[in-house]
Amino acid sequence: MDSDSSESISVLQLRISLRGVSPPVWRRLLIPEQITIAQLHQVMQLAMGWNDEHLHRFVIRGWRYGEHRDGALQFFDGPDTLSLAAFGLHEHERFAYLYDFTSWWLHDVRVERRTCAQRSSQLPRCVAGAGRCPPEDTGGPERYMNALEVHGEHEFFEWIETLREGQIDVNDPRVEADEWLIWLDRCFDRRAANERLQTLTR
């Protein structure tokens, strides 16, 4: 999304927060203001940690923007050509991003500030964040929060105790342990997020 030119470009700092989950899951991104709505979707998927397996839509100033797939609801045309710059977004202005119409992962997107950068800068870039993205198909915020309670540390140690009670098949605990780690490891890896974002500029 960037080039080798030293020309200065307008950059937006966005804070993206996932609604309805705790501990909070959020990302702070620096993005060129000239990227399209479709490109912003790709950036958010990679920064949050989603797999882009479902439909999505943005709601900006009351208008819906999203992709079209055969048999799916169509939205206002233009996500592939309409840039964020076309909106002239103000600092502190907000808009919404919805991912997966069944699970309803709703994100608040806030423009924290507008700045400038050299076109050759590594953009888009994640500069801060917290919280691991929920697993893709956990059914939305409410079901995800319920699943977190079931997969808490206390329950994990209870599972460890059950392994001591009988003969162990080595492969079974390994698979289950991997599943437990998905729920217990809630840290955000900013380096990994930026590595994913770099794939957009290759």
Closest CA to 132 of 199, 197, 182: 182
| pLDDT given for residue 148 in this prediction | 77
Q: In CATH, what number does 8-132+187-201 get?
A: 3.10.290.30
pLDDT of residue 173: 58
pLDDT for the residue numbered 181 = 61
- d(CA 143, CA 116) in angstroms, rounded, equals 41
Tell me, what amino acid is at 94? R
Cis, peptide link before residue 23, omega less than 30° from 0: yes
Give the percent of the chain with pLDDT over 70: 72
Question: Looking at residue 202, what is its pLDDT?
Answer: 65
Give residue-wise pLDDT tens across range 91-113: 999 999 999 999 999 999 999 99
> How high is the pLDDT of residue 72?
46
User: How distant, in Å, are the alpha carbons of 24, 28, 41 from that of 200?
Assistant: 26, 17, 12
What average pLDDT does the structure give for the chain? 82
Over 60: is that where the pLDDT of 190 sits?
A: yes
pLDDT digits (tens, 9 = 90+) for 19-76: 999 989 999 999 999 999 999 999 999 999 999 999 999 999 999 998 655 444 444 5
Flag whether pLDDT at 151 surpasses 90.
no
- The predicted pLDDT at position 67 comes to 66
What band does 15 get if pLDDT is binned at 50, 70 and 90?
Answer: very high
Give the model's confidence band at 136: pLDDT under 50 very low, under 70 low, under 90 confident, else very high. Answer: confident
Look at residue 80 in the predicted model and tell me its pLDDT: 83
- Domain ranges in the chain are 8-132+187-201, 141-183
More confident of the two residues 167 and 24: 24
Radius of gyration of the chain from Cα atoms? Answer: 20
Q: Residue 4: how many CA atoms within 13 Å on its side-chain side?
A: 1
